[in-house]
Chain A
Amino acid sequence: MSDININQNTSLFSKEDDGSETKQEYTFTVYSENRIGILSRIAIIFSKRKINIESLNTSPSEIEGIHRFNIVIQETGEVVKKLARQIEKQVEVLKVYYSTNDQIIWQELALYKVPTDVIAEKVEVERLLHQFGATAVVIRKDYTVFSVTGHKEETDRLVTALEPYSLIEFVRSARVAIIKNSRGFHEKLKEFEALEPGEEVIENEFLNKGDDVFTM
């Protein structure tokens, strides 16, 4: 789930094969300082290696002043591990985790704009929207905007379903993900420090105490 598999108690520098020769979807969770330019520095790490970012979300975290990125790519576990270390090397980055899809809970939000008269006239459209758990966000005379939250496959299916009914516009957000066995950033960091060679307790003590540390 991360560059350090705590459950199996293997070391950061374990030579064991993580069974990751084949490409699959990985989600990075990056905790960083909220500073201008860090997005660009992280993006460069992928583009330098000609790796496409499939989805990118940046948002605040549960700790004030600490930002959180979710980045989705298709790669082998080996490459992903190296990328994680390169990202973590950036001065403003506190910690990087990477996870396969079965290790996270994730959602994406999709918005659909459909002509209101079509919905009003066609029963099957209404049924479709029900079926996909769509909620109306705005209802106007000329159009209605629905939202659906879910995985890409689900939101994509509704696009296909709505296409015959004059779908005007569609947009989907980036993936936001929560790591299943994460207990928040504080806790995670402590686990790391308890098990890993990189422990520097002082860093954890200072976390979230803005005045005590050297921050810009």
Chain B
Amino acid sequence: MLVKDVLPTKTKQAETLTKLSGSQMILTALMEEGVSTIFGYPGGAIMPLYDALYDFNDHLNHILVRHEQGAVHAAQGYARASGLTGIVFATSGPGATNLVTGLADAQIDSTPIVCITGQVYAHLLGTDAFQETDVINITAPVTKWNYQVTDAKEIPEALAKAFYIARSGRPGPVLIDITKNAQLQIEEFSPYKKCHHIRSYRPSPKVRIEPIQQAAELINQAKKPFVLFGQGVILGKAEQEFRSFIEKTGIPSAWTILGDSAIPTDHPLNVGMLGMHGNYGPNVLTNQCDVLIAIGMRFDDRVTGRLDKYAKQAKIIHMDIDPAEIDKNVKADIGIWGDCKETLPLLSELVKPNSHQEWLQLFADHDKEERQTVIHQELNPQSGEITMGEVIRNLNELTGGDAIIVTDVGQHQMVACRYAKFNSSRSNITSGGLGTMGFCLPAAIGAKFGAPERTVVGIVGDGGFQMTLQELGTIMQSKVDVKIVILNNRFLGMVRQWQQLFNDKRYSSVNIESPDFVALAKAYRIDGQLVEDRNNLNEALKTMLDNKGSYLLEILVGKENNVFPMVPQGCSVSEIRLK
């Protein structure tokens, strides 16, 4: 698609393509970067861009959200499902400040997004003009990079840099703030040039072989090696390289919730989830392994528990593309700085084939214990209220593990991550680092646009759903096929669980009332039903999945169920509680 085919005839004839407005340059840049979908919300300072968009409507699909936070989360869902860069448009002032939560979420979870915000006229900057806000400074700590454009001549370069920075190295959100005059300004058109190099920016280093050799030596001598993998494997598109590495070495591998789905759930070396509500074996055996190989993960406190009692017996190999992560929380004996797409094959070449049968058996033993104590009852209750776990089990059976599961934050998130079955990468989309309630609904919308051929199921709590439920309007208007499962326990369940366990059951502001969710969906012309009885659960899920178009399923689950196992805050991973 050539840009000249898109531009209005008037421009073509009158100027024979020699001049473009700043807004046209922005849209040209997006097309050159391969953008097809934009999530946004118009407003005064970004009107020129929306005016230009009118002529690009056949080529750029703009999804009108209901709140700018929804736009960023949708762009995140889009990026996470597709591996592409998510795009957001928002206006100045409140439009821009509404992006902050999503930017912070994308920053901590390394999601590539480019936000374009309108800004007041350059001559009004600093005058406290209508809808003026200092978006550059407000968003500095929550963006990988940001830049204010006041002159249209800067637009092509600024956008080229934005795309390059957002998706290279450790990805992250970038915000470009463009004053209204720059959007309107007419300038000479010059062919768009993609950015491939910025002298002050090293997205990934030239990989050094020495630490990889040292790591291979350690791994070859190890009796109880253990791999922890995070989203770095997915972001580096290194799933195959990762699989080859663990399959050659036979090392048991556990995931952070953002690394989930990088290898299939039923892979024999996939030993489960790390962290506070992770699996029993991976947590306990972290403190028994002799070599810990961390790949594309950052030792978040929810993964490590108490640091001074974390894997002290082990030699630690840390592979990451971001040098600031190495030694940040856990001191590495060997740090391998680089893109794991490059470093993993080098490491695989140097390691000896192995199979750690006895060591793997230890994981299996722990798994057996966890199944008996926790999992069996959670997934197969015979009586009482519906459990979150059995909803996920039923869903697994119906989708076969092929759906994208988007979760919000809280108990349902932990249960979904623990029990959802995944066959392919980029299937688990959740707010990990920031823990943003309200993430699910807009992110699920974005995920569906990012992977239209896949089934997208959003699993959300009654609390989180009410934080961004206005995006039902987006679903209605864009006719996007998203299945929504509300696991309603009539509580802000995770906080309630903590209050029960650590605050003597003093339930403070966790009792949350909800509207009739099914009626609410209906108001947005979305089909749905309420499930209260276990006997209807499977059929209702089936109806939802078979429904043409989006569907909302509200499921009443146990009011005071807790998520176990649990590593209580301030405890070591080996002190994980099964009940």
| A6: interface (CB < 8 Å) | no
**B158 contact set on A, CB distance < 8 A:** 216
Determine the distance from Cα of A32 to Cα of B211 in the docked complex, in whole angstroms.
Answer: 29
| A180: interface (CB < 8 Å) | no
Name the distance in Å between B493's Cβ and chain A's nearest Cβ.
Answer: 31
| B14: interface (CB < 8 Å) | no
The 0/1 profile, CB within 8 Å of A marked 1, for residues 147-171 of chain B is: 1100000100110110001000000
Name the distance in Å between A155's Cβ and chain B's nearest Cβ.
Answer: 33
Name the distance in Å between B274's Cβ and chain A's nearest Cβ.
Answer: 22
A53-61, A83-91, A119-127, A137-145 - the one binding chain B: A83-91
Within 176-205 of A, Cβ neighbours of B (below 8 Å) are at 196-203
Partner of A33 from B197, B200, B211 at Cβ < 8 Å: B200
| A73: interface (CB < 8 Å) | no
Chain B residue nearest to A215 (CB atoms) is: B199
Partner of B206 from A13, A36, A37, A199 at Cβ < 8 Å: A199
Say yes or no: A82 contacts B197, CB within 8 Å. Answer: no
Say yes or no: A202 contacts B211, CB within 8 Å. Answer: no
Within 24-61 of A, Cβ neighbours of B (below 8 Å) are at 32-33, 36-37, 40-41, 44, 48
Say yes or no: B200 contacts A94, CB within 8 Å. Answer: yes
B138-146, B381-389, B553-561 - the one binding chain A: B138-146
If A37-B136, A85-B324 touch, does A13 touch B195 (CB 8 Å cutoff)? no
Name the distance in Å between A166's Cβ and chain B's nearest Cβ.
Answer: 41
**B334 contact set on A, CB distance < 8 A:** 13
Say yes or no: B165 contacts A91, CB within 8 Å. Answer: yes
Name the distance in Å between B142's Cβ and chain A's nearest Cβ.
Answer: 10
B28-36, B217-225, B325-333 - the one binding chain A: B325-333
Partner of B324 from A86, A91, A94, A201 at Cβ < 8 Å: A86
Name the distance in Å between A20's Cβ and chain B's nearest Cβ.
Answer: 13
Chain A residue nearest to B328 (CB atoms) is: A82
Say yes or no: A89 contacts B141, CB within 8 Å. Answer: no
Chain B residue nearest to A84 (CB atoms) is: B324
Determine the distance from Cα of A94 to Cα of B202 in the docked complex, in whole angstroms.
Answer: 9
**B145 contact set on A, CB distance < 8 A:** 91
Partner of B199 from A12, A36, A207 at Cβ < 8 Å: A207
If A13-B327, A85-B324 touch, does A214 touch B198 (CB 8 Å cutoff)? yes
**A11 contact set on B, CB distance < 8 A:** 211, 335
If A11-B211, A44-B141 touch, does A206 touch B337 (CB 8 Å cutoff)? no
Within 299-345 of B, Cβ neighbours of A (below 8 Å) are at 318, 322-324, 326-328, 331-335, 337-338
**A37 contact set on B, CB distance < 8 A:** 136-137, 140, 146-148
Say yes or no: B207 contacts A197, CB within 8 Å. Answer: yes
| B196: interface (CB < 8 Å) | yes
If A15-B332, A197-B211, A198-B323 touch, does A206 touch B140 (CB 8 Å cutoff)? no
Name the distance in Å between B226's Cβ and chain A's nearest Cβ.
Answer: 19
Determine the distance from Cα of A214 to Cα of B207 in the docked complex, in whole angstroms.
Answer: 23
Say yes or no: B324 contacts A200, CB within 8 Å. Answer: no
Name the distance in Å between A110's Cβ and chain B's nearest Cβ.
Answer: 32
**B331 contact set on A, CB distance < 8 A:** 15
Say yes or no: B198 contacts A44, CB within 8 Å. Answer: no
If A13-B211, A13-B337, A82-B328 touch, does A89 touch B322 (CB 8 Å cutoff)? yes
| B505: interface (CB < 8 Å) | no
**B165 contact set on A, CB distance < 8 A:** 91
Name the distance in Å between B179's Cβ and chain A's nearest Cβ.
Answer: 14
Say yes or no: B161 contacts A214, CB within 8 Å. Answer: yes
Say yes or no: B201 contacts A91, CB within 8 Å. Answer: yes
**A203 contact set on B, CB distance < 8 A:** 199, 202
The 0/1 profile, CB within 8 Å of A marked 1, for residues 250-273 of chain B is: 000000000000000000000000
Partner of B205 from A15, A89, A197, A214 at Cβ < 8 Å: A197
Say yes or no: B195 contacts A214, CB within 8 Å. Answer: yes
Within 345-392 of B, Cβ neighbours of A (below 8 Å) are at none
**B323 contact set on A, CB distance < 8 A:** 12, 85, 88-89, 198
In this complex, the interface size class of chain A, counting residues with CB under 8 Å from chain B, is: 35 or more
| B208: interface (CB < 8 Å) | yes
Say yes or no: A206 contacts B335, CB within 8 Å. Answer: no
The 0/1 profile, CB within 8 Å of B marked 1, for residues 130-151 of chain A is: 0000000000000000000000
Partner of B161 from A44, A89, A93, A216 at Cβ < 8 Å: A216
Name the distance in Å between B174's Cβ and chain A's nearest Cβ.
Answer: 9
Chain A residue nearest to B160 (CB atoms) is: A214
**B328 contact set on A, CB distance < 8 A:** 82, 85
| A92: interface (CB < 8 Å) | yes
Say yes or no: A200 contacts B200, CB within 8 Å. Answer: no
Say yes or no: B324 contacts A82, CB within 8 Å. Answer: yes
If A13-B337, A216-B161 touch, does A81 touch B141 (CB 8 Å cutoff)? no
Say yes or no: A44 contacts B207, CB within 8 Å. Answer: no
Tell which of B136, B201, B337 has the most Cβ of chain A within 10 Å.
B201
| A168: interface (CB < 8 Å) | no
**B338 contact set on A, CB distance < 8 A:** 197
Name the distance in Å between A93's Cβ and chain B's nearest Cβ.
Answer: 6
Say yes or no: B335 contacts A214, CB within 8 Å. Answer: no
Say yes or no: A12 contacts B335, CB within 8 Å. Answer: yes
If A15-B331, A89-B324, A198-B337 touch, does A214 touch B211 (CB 8 Å cutoff)? no
Say yes or no: A93 contacts B195, CB within 8 Å. Answer: no
**A15 contact set on B, CB distance < 8 A:** 327, 331-333
Say yes or no: A91 contacts B144, CB within 8 Å. Answer: yes
The 0/1 profile, CB within 8 Å of B marked 1, for residues 67-91 of chain A is: 0000000000000011001101101
| A161: interface (CB < 8 Å) | no
Determine the distance from Cα of A206 to Cα of B207 in the docked complex, in whole angstroms.
Answer: 20
Partner of A213 from B197, B326, B337 at Cβ < 8 Å: B197
Tell which of B140, B165, B195, B326 has the most Cβ of chain A within 10 Å.
B140
**A214 contact set on B, CB distance < 8 A:** 157, 160-161, 195-199
Determine the distance from Cα of A7 to Cα of B333 in the docked complex, in whole angstroms.
Answer: 20
Say yes or no: B200 contacts A92, CB within 8 Å. Answer: yes
If A15-B333, A216-B154, A216-B161 touch, does A41 touch B140 (CB 8 Å cutoff)? yes
10 closest pairs, A vs B, by CB?
Answer: A13-B335, A85-B324, A197-B208, A198-B205, A91-B145, A94-B200, A213-B199, A91-B201, A197-B337, A44-B141
27 A-B residue pairs with CB within 8 Å: A12-B335, A13-B332, A15-B327, A32-B200, A33-B200, A37-B140, A37-B146, A41-B140, A48-B141, A81-B327, A82-B328, A85-B328, A86-B324, A89-B323, A91-B198, A91-B200, A91-B201, A94-B200, A196-B208, A198-B323, A199-B206, A200-B206, A207-B199, A214-B157, A214-B161, A214-B195, A214-B199
B residues touching A (Cβ–Cβ < 8 Å)? 136-137, 140-141, 144-148, 154, 157-158, 160-161, 165, 195-202, 205-208, 211, 318, 322-324, 326-328, 331-335, 337-338
Q: A37-B148, A213-B197 are in contact. List 15 more A-B contacts (CB 8 A).
A: A13-B326, A13-B335, A32-B200, A36-B148, A37-B136, A44-B141, A88-B323, A89-B323, A91-B165, A197-B207, A197-B208, A198-B206, A198-B323, A216-B157, A216-B158
A residues touching B (Cβ–Cβ < 8 Å)? 11-13, 15, 32-33, 36-37, 40-41, 44, 48, 81-82, 85-86, 88-89, 91-94, 196-203, 206-207, 213-216
